[in-house]
């Protein structure tokens, strides 16, 4: 039975989910001096408590009992290692947070007029926006493409990189793919009328100034009218938009109406200038006219690499991006072969079927992300400042959409907003990592890290490495090897979806846990090379980068040891709690500042407990990959309106954590080991709370049943109908001419 072409139903709102849909301010609140001072005190307390624990507990136990109790000494060393790694991660959070607070305090927003003046100069190659997409709902992709198309930037191209199979068999998948293919054309068609109008208005103004030599009052009034028309066009579009969920709310209120409000303000200012009989310079009037032209003018394209046999079909986002970037600046003739269509480079433009322009900047944007109106202008302005010539990538680490309908999406959004703060802090110490959801990249920098290999007679270009599934992190290290840096812009200008259910969260977090250990070795080699070259990496930068890449591994294994191993009660000390307390207090404060509850710190702790098996699976996969040298497929986070089923292991494991914690409580109460009993009880309560909140008993039972019975079902494969043919009918002369004779030992045995 074929699937219906009807769109999935809207997700129902859960009790306890978030109702406020107003996003956080674009510009971060300026932190007080007291907040920065308390942050410094938190760092000092954490380090001091760890040192005192080392001296007063571990060293004392080893010194007093080392000769008589070898097991206790060994336990003390391993316990110290676990506590040290976990304390180090907490310390890096506090350090990065301090860096973020300083950046928020010192940030001064560039005035609008300065941006207009800067972009009055020519940007001949412009910017290309690349939106990689695979199996996305058309409504999700459409909002993303519109947020990119309405960016104010001279010479903007928006390219949708569709990675779906070009000819799907499933009727619903085929319908969804065809709907997605049409989006870029629909956007360009919708913008044709306003872009033509504002381009004509610009030409009219230029002629008037050339004839009169000055700016007339009528010209200013006419420009105000154009801004009013642009505002009304956006408001009409906003009113016509489907409004079904919190992402729709953001798109309507912040992307469309936010831009309309901006244009309305300019129109009001121009009208006030007319009333005051003020004189505007022709230069300023030209800037304001061009602004309308740039907002509503865009070139769009849909590109599908899997239609071409000459491009890589490796199943990951990196190669989807690489396939198109490798074609930029080239001319190609489409040539049909027995293996499919290939793109053959040609020199002359009149011989080309496809010409792909080059660009000075690339903007990579995930298909579930949205940009605010001046993202491109502000980030490129930053790149083009004299002291930023070696900045390769700039981005605004994405924030979450508010008003999540499920509790787990709200909690995942809270961790996303905390990560935004940490990434801002990394920039303070030159430890920025490229976050793949959105980024503006210099093409010159990508050319420096380009690797080319020949596969099957065709050149395959790798700008973004696909060795791991966290390709953006590895590319950050590659850029550093060539002397490039990365910068996070200290504002909230980009937003991205967070997983709405436990099944999709598993896919995302397992991917995040994979690859860090593999990339760490490359960073270590870079550290040695820079030390030999006389340009050593600063200690703070090195510590932050190492923590970013490896903390999931040591935190996961460390937590397993704390949960599972019955450590001697003499190793417990209030100083361990004192060392951890500043981290939890700071994180609770950050949650409150981001519009959440301080008590969410306990929900996040339980959330991380039930994700422990997922993180361990990702880390173990990294170790397996390092031993085998094989790439693993890129698992995309599902973005669907209905629930994503969880794998059996990841549903059962959280219940196992609760059961084992309860057993540990019972065992330690009998032994009167009250410290371990209290820790195990706390874990049991937090994990149980997280299961009820984020997975649900009914969903758990459904996923367990599905996991136990799924192996019984197989997909029906149609049996091909036998057709009587003569032996010569199987001969394909086109393939024979294209491939030649089969290599020795592989000849067909058909008789």
Q: What is the pLDDT, as a whole number, of residue 5?
A: 39
Please report where in the chains the tokens 């000769």 appear, as a residue. Answer: 67
Higher pLDDT, 518 or 175: 175
Average pLDDT over residues 612-629: 81
Q: What is the pLDDT of residues 47-103, one digit of tens each?
A: 999 999 999 988 888 887 766 677 888 888 899 999 999 999 999 999 999 999 999
Angle at 623 between CA 621 and CA 624, to 5 degrees: 60
Q: What is the pLDDT, as a whole number, of residue 449?
A: 93
For residue 705 the two structure tokens come to 């049943």
Question: Which has the minimum average pLDDT: 116-120, 161-165, 567-571?
Answer: 567-571
Between CA 164 and CA 186 the distance in angstroms is 20
Q: What is the pLDDT of residues 502-544, one digit of tens each?
A: 888 888 888 887 777 888 888 999 999 889 988 899 999 999 9
Q: What is the pLDDT, as a whole number, of residue 13?
A: 74
For residue 559, what are the contacts with CB-CB under 8 A and spacing of at least 6? 86, 609, 612
Q: What is the pLDDT, as a whole number, of residue 629?
A: 66
Between CA 689 and CA 16 the distance in angstroms is 13
Q: What is the pLDDT, as a whole number, of residue 729?
A: 55
Q: What is the pLDDT of residues 202-251, one digit of tens each?
A: 999 999 888 887 888 999 999 999 999 999 999 999 999 999 999 999 99
Between CA 209 and CA 145 the distance in angstroms is 36
Question: What mean pLDDT is reported for the chain?
Answer: 88
Residue 201 pLDDT exceeds 80? yes
Between CA 547 and CA 536 the distance in angstroms is 18
Higher pLDDT, 340 or 3: 340
| C-alpha distances in Å from residue 738, one per residue of 308, 330, 733 | 16, 25, 9
Residue 590 pLDDT exceeds 60? yes
Q: What is the pLDDT, as a whole number, of residue 166?
A: 93
Contact predicate 437/488, CB 8 Å: no
Contact predicate 489/396, CB 8 Å: yes
Query: Per residue in 356-366, is it b (16+ CB within 10 Å) or e — as a string?
Result: beebbbbbbbb
442-445 long-range Cβ contacts below 8 angstroms, 24+ apart: 442/360, 442/361, 442/383, 442/391, 442/392, 442/393, 443/328, 443/358, 443/359, 443/360, 443/361, 443/362, 445/392, 445/393, 445/479, 445/482, 445/484
Identify the CA nearest to 434 among candidates 461, 409, 404, 398. Answer: 398
Residue 401 pLDDT exceeds 50? yes
Residue 735 pLDDT exceeds 70? no
Q: What is the pLDDT, as a whole number, of residue 354?
A: 92
Q: What is the pLDDT, as a whole number, of residue 741?
A: 59
């Amino acid at each position: 039975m074929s699937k219906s072409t009807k769109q999935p139903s809207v997700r129902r709102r859960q009790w306890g989910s978030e109702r406020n849909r107003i996003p956080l301010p674009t510009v971060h609140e300026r932190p007080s001096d007291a907040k920065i001072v308390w942050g410094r005190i938190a760092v000092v307390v954490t380090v001091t408590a760890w040192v005192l624990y080392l001296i007063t507990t571990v060293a004392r136990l080893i010194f007093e009992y080392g000769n008589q109790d070898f097991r206790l000494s060994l336990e003390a060393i391993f316990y110290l290692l676990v506590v040290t790694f976990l304390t180090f991660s907490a310390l890096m959070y506090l350090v990065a947070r301090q860096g973020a607070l300083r950046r928020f305090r010192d940030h001064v927003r560039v005035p609008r007029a300065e941006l207009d003046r800067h972009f009055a100069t020519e940007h001949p190659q412009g910017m290309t926006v690349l939106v990689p997409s695979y199996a996305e709902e058309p409504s999700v992709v459409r909002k993303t493409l519109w947020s990119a198309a309405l960016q104010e930037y001279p010479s903007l191209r928006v390219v949708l990189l569709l990675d779906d199979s070009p000819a799907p068999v499933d009727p619903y998948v085929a319908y969804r793919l065809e709907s997605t293919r049409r989006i870029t054309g629909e956007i360009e068609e919708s913008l044709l009328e306003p872009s033509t109008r504002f381009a004509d208005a610009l030409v009219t103004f230029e002629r008037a100034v050339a004839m009169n030599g000055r700016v007339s009052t009528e010209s200013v009034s006419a420009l105000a009218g154009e801004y009013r028309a642009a505002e009304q066009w956006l408001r009409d579009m906003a009113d016509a938009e489907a409004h079904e969920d919190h992402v729709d709310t953001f798109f309507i209120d912040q992307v469309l109406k936010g831009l309309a409000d901006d244009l309305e303000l300019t129109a009001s200012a121009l009208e006030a200038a007319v009333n005051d009989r003020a004189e505007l310079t022709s230069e300023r009037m030209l800037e304001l006219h061009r602004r309308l032209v740039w907002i509503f003018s865009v070139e769009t394209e849909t590109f599908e690499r899997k239609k071409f046999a000459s491009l890589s079909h490796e199943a990951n986002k990196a190669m989807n991006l690489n396939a198109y970037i490798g074609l930029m600046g080239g001319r190609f003739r489409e040539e049909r072969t027995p293996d499919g269509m290939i793109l053959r480079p040609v020199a002359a433009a009149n011989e080309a079927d496809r010409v792909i322009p080059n660009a000075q900047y690339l903007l990579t944007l995930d298909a579930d992300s949205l940009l605010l109106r001046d993202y491109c202008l502000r980030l490129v302005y930053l790149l083009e400042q004299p002291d930023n010539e070696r900045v390769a990538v700039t981005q605004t680490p994405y924030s979450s959409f508010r008003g999540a309908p499920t509790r787990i999406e709200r909690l995942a959004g809270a961790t996303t907003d905390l990560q935004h703060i940490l990434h801002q802090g990394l920039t303070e110490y030159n430890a920025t990592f490229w976050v793949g959801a959105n980024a503006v990249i210099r093409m010159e920098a990508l050319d420096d890290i380009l690797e080319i290999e020949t596969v099957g007679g065709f050149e395959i270009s790798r700008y973004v490495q696909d060795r791991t599934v966290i390709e953006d992190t590895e590319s950050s290290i590659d850029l550093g090897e060539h002397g490039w840096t990365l910068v996070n812009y200290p504002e909230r200008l980009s937003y991205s979806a967070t997983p709405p259910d436990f099944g999709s969260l598993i896919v995302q977090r397992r991917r995040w846990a994979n690859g860090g250990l593999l990339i760490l070795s490359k960073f270590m080699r870079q550290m040695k090379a820079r030390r030999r070259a006389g340009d050593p990496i600063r200690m703070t930068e090195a510590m932050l980068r190492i923590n970013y890449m490896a903390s999931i591994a040591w935190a996961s294994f460390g937590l397993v040891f704390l949960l599972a191993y019955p450590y001697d009660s003499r190793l417990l000390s209030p100083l361990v709690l004192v060392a951890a307390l500043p981290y939890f207090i700071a994180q609770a404060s950050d949650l409150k500042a981001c519009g959440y509850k301080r008590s969410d710190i306990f929900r996040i702790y339980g959330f991380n407990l039930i994700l422990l098996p997922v993180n361990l699976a990702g880390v173990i996969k990294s170790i397996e990959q390092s031993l085998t040298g094989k790439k693993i497929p890129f698992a995309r986070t599902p973005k669907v309106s209905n629930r994503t089923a969880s794998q059996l292991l990841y549903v059962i494991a959280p219940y196992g954590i609760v059961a084992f914690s309860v057993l540990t409580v019972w065992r330690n109460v009998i032994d009167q080991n009250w410290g371990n009993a209290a820790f195990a009880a706390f874990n049991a309560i937090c994990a149980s709370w997280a299961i009820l909140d984020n997975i649900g008993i009914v969903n758990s039972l459904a996923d367990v049943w599905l996991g136990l019975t799924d192996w019984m079902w197989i997909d029906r494969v149609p049996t091909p109908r036998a057709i009587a043919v003569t032996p010569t009918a199987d001969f394909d002369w086109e393939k024979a001419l294209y491939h030649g004779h089969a290599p020795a030992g592989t000849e067909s045995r058909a008789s």
